[in-house]
């Protein structure tokens, strides 16, 4: 079916009322109508049509949600315990007012920046996420491809479902590896050495997971690896045939980077992984990692200025302020709220990245004006993947980068140094009493 849109330029809402449009069209000649109606050629493939419907990350979330069974949906969308942090992460960004600077030349907007020595097209990187082939059969390869094509870093998780060597060989680009310090330090050392040998340039050590948070949705949905089928689960899968076919056509989903370490076959891969999270990890382990890893080192999951300073003392080149997207300690403070104090404490020479709740270009602008060097995104690119594989992940990146460009333009900041140095002139935290205007969750 051919769709069309009526282009009335900057018409007011009154002029756009259907009766007015009908009268206007009736009094026009065919030439006038042709001028006025712009026909939109429908996209050829189903995937392209799906993407054509998506303008925002929320649109991608809606599309992906239709395609995923409940277990996958819950795994991606969900947070820990009461999901308080999950809600507050996005609400925290809405808790700022933007104050634009007028009459700056913003005819050219430059979003390029340095991220740990990599010249990135935008202050954005794809965060490490586990189980990614559950969201789309192309999983980590597709995410890495989207990042590479956009000129952004991609971080592969320890819990990836594709071998780290395969992502490096098949896709390449600016690759970072995220490490969990496993109970089995031999396995940890192997992962580190393999990542280095495969060409991963930076290491992210995630420190907010001494134990895995309670994901209530996963518990309710019986979400496990390998998937355990229940009659309800089977029915749910039957209602998502495309996702099922993708799963069946691909190689079995497993934690591809340490599956050989699963010695006791009576436990699931997930049980093995859960057993490997080590609650005894301390700063001493970071010293050991710093000595072994020659490239840039990022510590992810810090939310306290003193911890950030200590990570820098150990030799970290950067910090990712993160509450793991609200998936670990519930009610952990939104990272954007601690950013200024951490920047004050560590000074300007340390790279500060931030994630958890970034959903729009304005969120990235707020983070940069508050002292960050860049943002990581998790769910936004997973929603893209779920909607349309690599093309969907690319769409998610394009949305955020073009929203950032537009926000910078409207704020009067032609490049990132201008945005960062503008600081408090561009963004102001709202007073608590004004919160009711914004956000889903009162803070
Ligand atoms: C994650 N995250 C994550 N972090 C990490 O260090 N290792 C991992 O394996 C995972 N796995 C993972 C799976 C899924 C489904 C999600 C949504 C997140 C956390 C991730 O790196 C990042 O911190 C958050 O996703 C950022 O929050 P947003 O952007 O999702 O709000």
> Tell me, what CATH number does 119's domain have?
3.20.20.70
Within this chain, do residues 26 and 69 fall inside the same structural domain, yes or no?
Answer: no
| C-beta of 159 in contact with ligand 1 (< 6 A) | yes
Within this chain, do residues 369 and 397 fall inside the same structural domain, yes or no?
Answer: yes
pLDDT the model gives residue 423: 84
Nearest-atom index, ligand 1, CA of 324: 23
Q: Which residues contact 138 (CB under 8 A, 6 or more apart)?
A: 385, 389, 390
**How much distance in Å is there from the Cα of 106 to the middle of ligand 1?**
34
Rounded distance, CA 122 to CA 133, Å? 26
182 inside domain: yes
Element (H, E) at 428: strand 427-429
For the ranges 136-140, 221-225, 375-379, the lowest mean pLDDT is seen at 221-225
153 inside domain: yes
217 inside domain: yes
Comparing CA positions, the residue from 326, 313, 300 lying closest to residue 205 is 300
| Ligand 1 mutation pick, 139, 324, 353, 385, max ligand atoms within 8 A of CB | 324
Within this chain, do residues 204 and 231 fall inside the same structural domain, yes or no?
Answer: yes
42 inside domain: no
Would the CA dihedral through 229, 235, 239, 242 be positive or negative? positive
Within this chain, do residues 106 and 60 fall inside the same structural domain, yes or no?
Answer: yes
Assign 117 to helix, strand or coil.
Answer: coil
**How much distance in Å is there from the Cα of 204 to the middle of ligand 1?**
12
| C-beta of 78 in contact with ligand 1 (< 6 A) | no
Q: Whole domain around residue 376: which residue ranges?
A: 47-435
Nearest-atom index, ligand 1, CA of 135: 15
Residue 17 has pLDDT above 70, yes or no: no
How many domains is the chain built from?
2
| C-beta of 378 in contact with ligand 1 (< 6 A) | yes
Residues annotated catalytic, as ranges? 324
98 inside domain: yes
pLDDT the model gives residue 116: 98
315 inside domain: yes
Within this chain, do residues 87 and 219 fall inside the same structural domain, yes or no?
Answer: yes
Categorize the per-residue pLDDT at 258 as very low, low, confident or very high, splitting at 50, 70 and 90: confident
Nearest-atom index, ligand 1, CA of 90: 31
Within this chain, do residues 26 and 84 fall inside the same structural domain, yes or no?
Answer: no
Residue 224 has pLDDT above 70, yes or no: yes
pLDDT the model gives residue 2: 39
Rounded distance, CA 315 to CA 293, Å? 11
Average pLDDT over residues 59-76: 97
Strand intervals (E) in 180-317: 202-206, 297-302
| Ligand 1 mutation pick, 76, 128, 397, max ligand atoms within 8 A of CB | 128
**How much distance in Å is there from the Cα of 345 to the middle of ligand 1?**
26
Backbone angles phi, psi at 320, to 5 degrees: -105, 110
pLDDT the model gives residue 56: 98
Within this chain, do residues 259 and 364 fall inside the same structural domain, yes or no?
Answer: yes
Within this chain, do residues 193 and 163 fall inside the same structural domain, yes or no?
Answer: yes
Within this chain, do residues 95 and 31 fall inside the same structural domain, yes or no?
Answer: no
pLDDT the model gives residue 233: 81
Average pLDDT over residues 401-410: 98
Residue 442 has pLDDT above 90, yes or no: no
Average pLDDT over residues 407-433: 92
| C-beta of 324 in contact with ligand 1 (< 6 A) | yes
Nearest-atom index, ligand 1, CA of 128: 21
Give the predicted TM-score (pTM) of the model.
Answer: 0.91
Nearest residue (CA) to ligand 1, atom 19: 324
Nearest-atom index, ligand 1, CA of 356: 27
| C-beta of 357 in contact with ligand 1 (< 6 A) | yes
| Ligand 1 mutation pick, 124, 129, 258, 357, max ligand atoms within 8 A of CB | 129
Within this chain, do residues 28 and 176 fall inside the same structural domain, yes or no?
Answer: no
pLDDT the model gives residue 8: 42
441 inside domain: no
41 inside domain: no
| C-beta of 323 in contact with ligand 1 (< 6 A) | no
Within this chain, do residues 12 and 147 fall inside the same structural domain, yes or no?
Answer: no
Residue 436 has pLDDT above 70, yes or no: no
Within this chain, do residues 193 and 306 fall inside the same structural domain, yes or no?
Answer: yes
| C-beta of 128 in contact with ligand 1 (< 6 A) | yes
Average pLDDT over residues 400-406: 98
Nearest residue (CA) to ligand 1, atom 5: 128
Average pLDDT over residues 248-269: 77
Residue 77 has pLDDT above 80, yes or no: yes
Rounded distance, CA 237 to CA 41, Å? 33
């Amino acid at each position: 079916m051919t769709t069309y849109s009526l282009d009335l330029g900057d018409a007011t809402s009154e002029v756009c009322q259907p009766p007015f449009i009908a009268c206007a069209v009736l009094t026009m000649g065919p030439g006038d109508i042709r001028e006025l109606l712009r026909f939109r050629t429908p996209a050829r493939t189903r995937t392209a049509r799906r993407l054509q419907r998506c303008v925002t990350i929320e649109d991608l979330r809606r599309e992906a949600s239709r395609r995923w069974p409940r277990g996958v949906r819950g795994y991606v969308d969900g947070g820990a315990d009461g999901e308080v942090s999950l809600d507050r992460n996005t609400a925290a960004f809405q808790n700022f007012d933007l104050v634009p600077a007028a009459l700056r030349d913003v005819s050219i907007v430059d979003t390029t920046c340095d991220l740990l020595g990599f010249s990135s097209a935008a202050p954005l990187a794809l965060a490490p996420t586990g189980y990614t082939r559950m969201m789309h059969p192309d999983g980590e390869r597709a995410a890495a491809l989207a990042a590479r094509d956009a000129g952004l870093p991609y971080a592969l998780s320890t819990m990836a479902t594709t071998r780290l060597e395969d992502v490096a060989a098949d896709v390449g680009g600016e690759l970072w590896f995220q490490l969990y310090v496993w109970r089995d330090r031999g396995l940890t050392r192997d992962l580190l050495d393999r990542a280095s040998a495969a060409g991963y340039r930076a290491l992210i050590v995630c420190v907010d997971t001494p134990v895995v948070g309670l994901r209530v949705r996963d518990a309710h949905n019986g979400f496990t690896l390998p998937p355990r089928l229940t009659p309800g689960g089977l029915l749910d899968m039957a209602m998502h045939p495309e996702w099922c076919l993708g799963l069946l056509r691909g190689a079995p989903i497993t934690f591809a980077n340490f599956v050989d370490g699963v010695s006791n076959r009576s436990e699931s891969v997930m049980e093995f992984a859960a057993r490997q999270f080590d609650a005894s990890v301390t700063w001493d382990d970071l010293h050991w990692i710093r000595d072994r890893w020659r490239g840039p080192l990022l510590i992810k999951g810090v939310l306290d200025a003193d911890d950030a300073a200590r990570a820098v003392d150990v030799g970290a080149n950067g910090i990712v302020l993160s509450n793991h997207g609200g998936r670990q300690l519930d009610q952990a403070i939104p990272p954007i709220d601690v950013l200024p104090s951490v920047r004050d404490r560590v000074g300007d020479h340390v790279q500060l990245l931030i994630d958890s709740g970034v959903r729009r270009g304005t969120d990235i602008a707020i983070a940069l004006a508050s002292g960050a060097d860049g943002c990581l995104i998790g769910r936004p690119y997973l929603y893209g993947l779920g909607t349309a594989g690599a093309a969907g992940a690319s769409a998610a990146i394009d949305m955020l980068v073009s929203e950032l460009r537009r926000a910078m333009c409207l704020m009067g900041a032609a490049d990132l140094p201008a945005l960062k140095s503008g600081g408090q002139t561009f963004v102001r935290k709202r007073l608590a009493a004004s919160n009711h205007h914004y956000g889903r969750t009162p803070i």
